[in-house]
């Protein structure tokens, strides 16, 4: 019992110390690349939506101005 507890605690300390097996660097790099691409895509989409919103606002201003001039 004492031996199993010692092994379990030793294993836990080993993992928490960062001295355990290194993470799969290649997998982490793929994840980073995927997330960077997703960021680029989302940024482009946001810029497109902002341009559409600005165009809609401009059209709304023009329509409001035209309605106000008719009165």
Residue that the structure tokens 């709304």 belong to: 60
What is the b/e burial string over 44-71, where b = at least 16 CB atoms within 10 angstroms of the residue's CB?
eeeeeeeeeeeeeeeeeeeeeeeeeeee
Alpha helices by DSSP H, listed for the chain, are 2-16, 25-70
pTM score, two decimals? 0.57
Residue 65 domain-assigned?
yes
The total domain count for the chain is 1
pLDDT, tens digit (0-9, with 9 covering 90-100), for 9-56 = 777 777 777 666 566 778 888 899 999 999 999 999 999 999 999 999
pLDDT of residue 22: 61
pLDDT of residue 9: 78
Residue 48 domain-assigned?
yes
Residue 4 domain-assigned?
no
51-69 average pLDDT score: 96
Residue 49 domain-assigned?
yes
Report residue 7's pLDDT band, with 50, 70 and 90 as the boundaries.
Answer: confident
More confident residue, 57 or 9: 57
Distant-in-sequence, close-in-space partners of 14: CB < 8 Å, separation ≥ 6? 20
């Amino acid at each position: 019992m004492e031996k199993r507890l010692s092994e379990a605690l030793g294993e836990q300390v080993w993992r928490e110390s960062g001295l355990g097996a290194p993470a799969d660097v290649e997998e982490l790099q793929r994840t980073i690349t995927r997330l960077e691409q997703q960021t680029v895509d989302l940024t482009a989409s946001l810029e497109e939506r902002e341009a559409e919103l600005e165009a809609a606002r401009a059209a709304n201003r023009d329509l409001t101005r035209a309605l106000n001039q008719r009165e």
